Structure 1
Amino acid sequence: MKIASAEDIGRIIKQKRKNDRLTLEEAAAVCGVSYAFMSALENGKETVRLNKVLQVIKCLGIELEAKPRTWATPGAES
């Protein structure tokens, strides 16, 4: 899935949590974050702390992969 926004990350995390049959409260406890943080993350709040986002992603077993794009225009010579 292409991630283009905080909402996309939240959607992925929420779906994984539900697939694992965890409540919001259980997932927050297992991942070592507060209920409020987990809720904000799943709702796509843009100001959540990145280190905690990565902590939750790792805890839930979600893998992220970055794929650098090129800035060259199609047909342009390098």
Structure 2
Amino acid sequence: MPSSAQDLPLGHSADSETPIRSSVELGLVIREQRKRLALKQLDLAGLGNTGNRFIVDLENGKPTVQLQKVLDLMDLLGLEVVVRTKASRSTSSL
């Protein structure tokens, strides 16, 4: 187990992108990365200076978690948020 945030490896999965459309989807991505890094929820809570309840809520997709805490934990896990414009949809399907 890493002893500090500096010891955490950056995300080591292939440069994959996962579109997130709900808090549940975000929670699943965070849970998968935590498990890839062999961290328990309590480990992540300690490294992120937050409570275990916050980690549980986040991974379960609670929509009202604090955004800055989520971003900080994602950074610890080697994840980042990228905002981009959606690809335009064909007008013929309207």
Give the TM-score taking structure 2 as reference length. Answer: 0.72
**Partner in structure 2 of residue 21 of structure 1:** 38
Match of 1:48 among 57, 62, 65: 65
> Which has the larger helix fraction?
1
Equivalences, count: 75
Separation of aligned partners in 1, 2:22 and 2:63? 8
Give the TM-score taking structure 1 as reference length. Answer: 0.85
**Structure 1 runs of 4+ with >2 Å offset:** 69-75
Separation of aligned partners in 2, 1:42 and 1:36? 10
Gap regions ≥5 residues in structure 2: 1-17
Q: Per-residue CA shift, 1:35-62, capped at 9, x if unaligned?
A: 0001000000001011111111111110
Q: Per-residue CA shift, 1:7-49, capped at 9, x if unaligned?
A: 0110010000000000000011111111000100000000101
Identity across aligned pairs (percent)?
A: 31
8 Å CA contact 1:31–1:60 kept in 2: the answer is no
